[in-house]
Amino acid sequence: MTETKTLSLAKIEALAFDALVAAGTSPENARPLAVATAQTEADGVASHGLAYIPIYCEHVQCGKVDGTARPSITQPRPAFLLADAATGFAHPAIDAGFERLIPLARDQGIAALAIRKSYNCGVLGCHTQRLAQAGLVGLGFTNAPASIAPSGGAKPVVGTNPFSIAVPDGQGGVAVLIDQSASTIAKSEVMKHAREGKPIPEGWALDPEGKPTTDPQIGLAGSMAPSGGYKGVGVALLVEVLAAALSGATLGIHASPFSGTKGGPPRTGQFFVAIDPGAADGAAFAQRITDLVGAIHAQEGAHLPGDGRGAKRTRAASEGVAISTATLDRIAALSG
C-alpha cells in the first residue's frame, strides 16, 4: 500500500513553486505552473500533479524548457491572438494570452488564441475552466509528441492530443467541463504505472506491432490505444490541425518526448477559442444549459463530465489532498 501524507492546497502550491525555482525557473514562470499543480491535485488528477514536478525540473535543467522564457503576444487579426512561448512553459504563455483573449471575446463575440513554441500544458481543463468562470464558452486543444498510430498502422503519427470545453453556468461557475484525450487513457497514466512497476489494463496501450499489451514499458515503446478506435484517431487529427498546424507549432511526429531528456524543446502548441454567449442571447443560453444539466442530474446515478472533479475540488479545499510520500521525497530533494 502506498504511503501518503495529507497536504493543504497552499502547501502543494508552495512545494511545486520552490522546486521549480530551485531548478532554474523564474518566479513569474513558476507561479502559474504551481497554481495549476495544486488545482490538478485538488481535481484528483494525481498523474499531472506533484508527481510531474520532478519531470518539469529535469526539463528545465537539461534545456528542454527555458525556465526564464518570456512569452510574447501579437494580434495579427482583430479577433485572433498569437502567442510565442519561446520554448518556455505553456502556463505563462496561456496566462498572458488569456489577459487579452477574455476582453477580446467579450468585445468581438468570439476570439481565438494560438500558442506556438510551447510545452506540456498539464490538464487542459484547468485552462478552459477559467474561460467559463469569466462567463465565456471555452474550447481548448493541445497537441503532444506522437504516440497514437493511424487506423491500420502501428507507427505513432499524432499525440494523445486532448481537447476540452468548459461551459459557464451564468453565475461565475462552470456548468459543464469536458476534458479528454484522443487516447483511451492519458499517456501519463501509463508512465505512472511504469514508474511503479504495475501492469496496465488491456486496452490502454499497444505494443510496437499494434497488439494489446498489459506491460507499460512495452506500451510506451509502442503506441497508445485511441479512444473509440478510428474515431479517436480522428479527434487526434482535429486537435493536431488546430494546436499545431494552425498555431505554427511543431507537429507531434517531429516533437521531442515530454518524458526523459532526449531531444531539445518539443515546441508543441495550444489553441483556445472563447465565445461570449451574450453575442447571441445570453439569458436564453443560460436557461438552455440549466435545462440540459437538469435533465441529466434528474436521472438517478447519472452524472456530467466534470462532476467528479468538482466534488473532489470542493473536498480538497477543506480537507487537503493525500500525496505519495515517495513523490514528496523526490520534490524535497529537488528543493534542497
Domains, the chain, ordered by start: 4-183+226-294+305-309+317-335 (3.30.1370.60)
Residues 6+ apart with CB under 8 A from 205: 190, 212, 213, 216, 218, 219, 220, 222, 223, 224, 225
Instruction: Give the pLDDT score at 188.
Output: 81
Instruction: Give the pLDDT score at 55.
Output: 94
* Secondary structure of residue 45 in the 3-state scheme: coil
| CA 137 – CA 29 distance, rounded (Å) | 26
Instruction: Give the pLDDT score at 2.
Output: 75
Helix (H) or strand (E) run with residue 319 in it: helix 307-319
- Amino acid identity, position 155: K
Instruction: Give the pLDDT score at 192.
Output: 84
- Amino acid identity, position 330: R
Task: Give residue for cell 500544458.
Answer: 121
Mean pLDDT, contiguous 10-residue spans, the chain (336 residues) = 91 97 98 97 92 95 97 98 98 98 98 98 97 98 96 94 96 95 89 90 94 95 94 97 98 94 96 97 92 97 92 94 94 87
Report H helices in 138-229. 187-196, 216-221
Helix (H) or strand (E) run with residue 142 in it: strand 137-142
Instruction: Give the pLDDT score at 191.
Output: 86
What is the pTM assigned to this prediction? 0.95
Burial (CB count within 10 angstroms: exposed 0-12, middle 13-18, buried 19+), residue 106: middle
Instruction: Give the pLDDT score at 46.
Output: 87
| CA 109 – CA 81 distance, rounded (Å) | 14
| CA 320 – CA 4 distance, rounded (Å) | 12
Instruction: Give the pLDDT score at 1.
Output: 65
Q: Are 38 and 8 in contact (CB under 8 A)?
A: no
The residues that are catalytic are 47-48, 189
Q: How many CB atoms lie within 10 A of CB 204?
A: 22
| CA 185 – CA 177 distance, rounded (Å) | 17
Instruction: Give the pLDDT score at 203.
Output: 92
* Secondary structure of residue 46 in the 3-state scheme: helix
